[in-house]
Amino acid sequence: MANVVVVGAQWGDEGKGRLVDWLAGEADVVARYNGGHNAGHTLVVDGTIYKLALLPSGLVRGKFGVIGNGVALDPEALLAEISRVEQLGLSVSPDNLAIAENATLVLPVHRAVDLAQEKLLKVPIGTTLRGIGLAYEDKVGRRGLRACDLADIDALAEKLDALLDYHNAWFKGFGLEGFSRNTILPMLRDVAPRILPFVRPVWALLSEQSDAGKHILFEGSQAVMLDIDWGTYPYVTSSSTVASAAATGTGIGTSRLGHVLGVTKAYATRVGEDPFPTEIQDEIGVLLREKGREFGVNTGRPRRCGWLDGAQLRQSVKVSGIDSLALAKLDVLDGFDYIQVCVAYDIDGRTTASLPAGLAGQLRAKLIFERFKGWKQSVKGMTRFSDLPSEAREFVKSVERIAGAPLSHITTGPDRNDTIVLRSPFGNKVSEALTFA
C-alpha cells in the first residue's frame, strides 16, 4: 500500500499522534484531514515533549505536513502552536507545511457562541469550547470564512459582516452582547500575511505526490465513536472521523487512501458526561487514570476510564473499514490481577454485539465480559512480541480475535521507540523476529 489512514477506534485520546509519529518514518507526507485544535497529540522524542493540536505530527519526523480542507483552522491557535514548537527547535515554514485554501476558519465569535450554548443547555455536550462545531455550522450554512478569503481583506470584511449578522441575531435573542466587525477584522488583517504563505491547493499537491509513488499518511483526530453520524450522538464531534473523511478532508480520491489503521488503547477512556458502558467507577478506574496519565492535552480534563469495550471496537472496525489495529498503552495494565474485555451487551434480556444508536438503549446496556489473567512483569519498553509475559500475549491475541482485525503495532511506553511492530501498514517487510505468531 502506498498510503495509510490513521483513525481513532474508540472515543479519542487513543494515542494516534504517537502512531502517526512512528509511521511517519515510512511516509513522505503527513496530512491532517478533520477536526481542529480541540484535539491534542503528545509526542515524546528524546525527552522533548511536543504537544500538537493543528500541526501534523509528521513535522516532528521532518516530513512535509498538510492541513486539509476538512480541518477547522483557528489562525491564532495555529500561529501560537508554531511559535511553541519553534521554541523547541522545530522549524515550521511553507517549505514543510501547506494549508488547504478552502479550509474553514475558526473565529472568536465561534468560541463565544460555543461557550454561551454550553451554559444554556440543560445537559451540556461537553465541548472543548474552542468553537470548532460552530465553525463547521457556518461552513455548512455557506456563510463561513475560508483560508483563501484572507487574500482579499475588503471582500472578507463583507463576508464577515454577513456571518456576524447571523450570530448577532442569536446573541440578541438571548439578551447577550454580540460582535462587531471591528472586534474581529483587525485580528484577521494581522494574521493574513503570516498564514497566506502556507495556503495552496493541497488536493493538487497530494495528487502529484501520489502519482509520483510517494507514501502519504493521513492523520485523523477524535475517533469513530465521536463521528457525527456513527458516534454516540449527540455527544459527538462536529465532523466525520471515519477513514473515508480522509478523502473529503484533503481532496484525494477514495481509491488512493490505502490501508486503514485503527488505534485503540488496551483499555477505554472518555471525557464528558455521556454514556460510557465499560466505565469503572471504583479504585481500579482511578488507578488506570493515574497510571495512564489520563488528562486532556489541551484542556487538562481528567478522563473517565474503563475496561476495553471489544464490542464497540468491533463495530468501529466495520464502520470505518479498519484493516489493522494498533494497541496502545499495554504497559498501563501491568500489575493487575485480572483484566476484562466487554464482548457483547445484554439489552432488555437480548444479547447484541453492537452498541445501539439511541442513548436510551446505551444506558440500559448490561455488559458481557471475558476475563483474562493479568501479568506482574512490566512490559514497559519491550519491542519484541516474544518478550511479553505469556498472559500479555494471550490478552493481545484475544483483542485481535474479539475486534475482528489483525494487530500491527503494540505500544509499551510513552517514548516513540517503545513499540512492538507486528506488521507494516505500508506493506514493507517486517523482520521475522517481530512477526506476530
Residues with a known catalytic role? 13, 41
Q: What is the C-alpha to C-alpha distance for residues 85 and 55, in angstroms, rounded to an integer?
A: 10
Give the largest CA-CA distance in the chain. 67
Q: What is the C-alpha to C-alpha distance for residues 423 and 17, in angstroms, rounded to an integer?
A: 18
- Residue 385: its H or E element: none
372: left (phi over 0), alpha (psi -120 to 50) or beta: beta
Q: What is the C-alpha to C-alpha distance for residues 241 and 390, in angstroms, rounded to an integer?
A: 35
Handedness of CA 328, 332, 334, 340 (dihedral sign): negative
Cell (9 digits) for 11 = 472515543
Cell (9 digits) for 77 = 491557535
Q: What is the C-alpha to C-alpha distance for residues 89 and 109, in angstroms, rounded to an integer?
A: 33
Q: How far, CA to CA in Å, does 142 sit from each of 129, 146, 175, 291?
A: 22, 11, 26, 45
Q: What is the C-alpha to C-alpha distance for residues 154 and 152, in angstroms, rounded to an integer?
A: 6
Length of the chain: 437
Strands (E) in 74-231, as ranges, are 97-100, 104-105, 199-200, 216-219
Cell (9 digits) for 230 = 456513527
Q: What is the C-alpha to C-alpha distance for residues 14 and 176, in angstroms, rounded to an integer?
A: 38
Three-state DSSP at 37 gives coil
Are the CB atoms for 247 and 257 separated by under 8 Å? yes
Three-state DSSP at 416 gives coil
Please give the torsion angle defined by the CA atoms of residues 39, 40, 41 and 47, in that order, rounded to the nearest 10 degrees: 180
Strand partners, 306: 268, 279
Other Cβ atoms within 10 Å of 407 Cβ, number: 20
Q: What is the C-alpha to C-alpha distance for residues 372 and 387, in angstroms, rounded to an integer?
A: 19
Residue with cell 463583507: 158
